[in-house]
């Protein structure tokens, strides 16, 4: 192994060592050479560093990288036709990226989904940052299904992406592909949420603080009997943090938390459950809940679509918003179209999250310092759905 105290980058040292061993025929034409993983372990570097060294060897036609088999010392006569695949990720069926370092980094983006209420501006932020930093995005949606997420990550790695930005599907368990990426130190940034027990860089909203601000807004309007509506937390950091912020705001104002006013298992907004039957069931549940708890004067909805369910339930009961019932939520479309409704909401800094995600994954690729966890503040946006608390009879 070369002297690691030299100022030469480690990927160049690995390249020089391997080239010398090939030229001296320590590795003869047709011999398999160590994999990216084996080189990374031998030199105590990340996979991205060993990958870059291998790409340099492939670019000089020193080696041929064969999908599903590994990397082999090139035989000028036998392997000339294989050179076209020399830039692929080992074990992949991806495209040739050998010798194209100047073309910009390829970043895989895995999102659950996106819409006008949340996600579109996230992509805008990523795209703007990628353009500025000479990166390119490959986007795929998973619709919140973990099996789709695992398959997508595998396919993007096969494509040869240099790094990944993942908006994880919510659920009790995270997918094994993410854990593999962390263990192998592949450039990875999680966005919107964290995964407990996984030491991956993440960019998200300060959901605890944002929820606290939302609840305090309702307190300032005189509301003390507030229903919280959410999907099952199921170890989803964003939902758990918002509930925690809601509880903290009560403690800060000296208002008792009444969990009997909560519905924390609405499911119609979850993946594979967003259909008319489930939506009607959840609206009916909220209607019954409001009838059984007439003291409720405000609703804190964890998500925009849950706020829409609450509004539908209130309308069917003949309750005016915000005269009889105030509603506050996270996110809302930035402009109204057709029957769109401007809720008072906490607006997340989507563009900022997207931009930071790209900046950080590129920094990790280059082995530069990158923040492990970043939480951005959200902004309270006054809409049409909140007003002073009505007087009620308990």
Among candidate residues 182, 181, 126, the one with its CA nearest the CA of residue 362? 126
Residues 39 and 109 in one domain: no
Q: Given pLDDT bands bounded at 50, 70 and 90, which one contains residue 84?
A: very low
Q: Has residue 383 been placed in a domain?
A: no
Q: Please say if the pLDDT value at position 73 is more than 60.
A: yes
CATH number of the structural domain spanning residue 218: 3.40.50.2300
Instruction: State whether 215 and 323 are in the same domain.
Output: yes
CATH number for the domain harbouring residue 50: 1.10.10.10
Are 229 and 324 in the same domain?
A: yes
Residue 394 in domain: no
pLDDT, position 198: 75
The answer as to whether 392 is a domain residue is no
Q: What was the pLDDT predicted at 100?
A: 39
- Predicted TM-score (pTM) above 0.75: no
Residues 88 and 184 in one domain: no
What is the number of structural domains in the chain? 3
DSSP character string of 250-277: HHHHTPPP-GGG-B----TTSTTT-SHH
In this structure, the answer to whether residues 50 and 65 fall within a common structural domain is: yes
CB 249 within 8 A of CB 210: no
Instruction: Tell me: do 108 and 189 sit in the same domain.
Output: yes
Per residue in 180-196, pLDDT (tens digit) is 888 888 999 999 887 77
Q: Tell me the average pLDDT of the chain.
A: 85
- Judged against a pLDDT cut of 80, whether residue 393 lies above it is answered with no
Statement to judge: residues 113 and 242 lie in one domain? no
Q: Let me know: does 232 contact 264? Beta carbons within 8 Å.
A: yes
Tell me if 242 is assigned to some domain.
yes
**Segments forming the whole domain that contains residue 108:** 102-204+350-376
CB atoms within 10 A of CB 277: 8
Residues 270 and 355 in one domain: no
Q: Are residues 249 and 336 in the same domain?
A: yes
Would you say residue 258 lies in a domain? yes
Round to whole Å and give the CA distance between 271 and 243: 21
Q: Is residue 217 domain-shared with residue 345, that is, in the same domain?
A: yes
């Amino acid at each position: 192994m070369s002297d690691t105290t030299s100022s030469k980058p480690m990927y160049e040292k690995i390249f020089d060592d391997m080239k010398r061993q090939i030229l001296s025929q320590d590795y003869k034409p047709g011999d398999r050479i160590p994999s990216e993983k084996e080189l990374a372990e031998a030199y105590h570097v990340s996979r991205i560093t060993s990958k870059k060294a291998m790409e340099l060897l492939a670019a000089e036609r020193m080696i041929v990288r064969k999908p599903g088999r590994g990397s082999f010392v090139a035989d000028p006569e036998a392997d000339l036709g294989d050179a076209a695949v020399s830039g692929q990720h080992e074990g992949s069926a991806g495209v040739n990226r050998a010798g194209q370092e100047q073309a910009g980094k390829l970043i895989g983006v895995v999102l659950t989904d996106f819409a006008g209420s949340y996600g579109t501006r996230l992509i805008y932020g990523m795209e703007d940052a990628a353009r500025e930093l000479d990166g390119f995005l490959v986007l795929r949606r998973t619709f919140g299904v973990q099996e789709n997420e695992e398959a997508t990550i595998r396919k993007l790695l096969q494509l040869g992406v240099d790094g990944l930005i993942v908006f994880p599907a919510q659920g009790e368990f995270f997918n094994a592909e993410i854990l593999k990426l962390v263990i192998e130190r592949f450039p990875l940034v999680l966005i919107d949420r964290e995964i407990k027990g996984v030491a991956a860089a993440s960019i998200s909203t300060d959901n605890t603080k944002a929820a606290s601000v939302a609840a305090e807004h309702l307190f300032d309007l005189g509301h003390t009997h507030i229903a919280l509506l959410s999907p099952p937390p199921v170890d989803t950091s964003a939902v758990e943090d918002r509930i925690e912020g809601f509880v903290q705001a009560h403690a800060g104002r000296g208002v008792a938390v009444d969990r009997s006013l909560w519905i924390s298992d609405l499911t119609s907004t979850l993946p594979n459950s967003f259909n008319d039957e489930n939506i009607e069931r959840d609206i009916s549940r909220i209607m019954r809940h409001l009838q059984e708890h007439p003291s409720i004067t405000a609703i804190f909805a964890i998500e925009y679509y849950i706020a829409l369910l609450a509004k539908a339930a209130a309308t069917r009961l003949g309750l005016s918003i915000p005269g009889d019932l105030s509603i506050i939520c996270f996110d809302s479309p930035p402009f109204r179209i057709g029957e769109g409704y401007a809720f008072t909401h906490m607006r997340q800094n989507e563009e900022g999250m997207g931009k930071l995600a790209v900046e950080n994954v590129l920094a990790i690729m280059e082995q530069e310092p990158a923040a492990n966890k970043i939480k951005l503040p959200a902004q309270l946006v006054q809409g049409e759905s909140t007003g002073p608390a009505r007087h009620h009879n308990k």
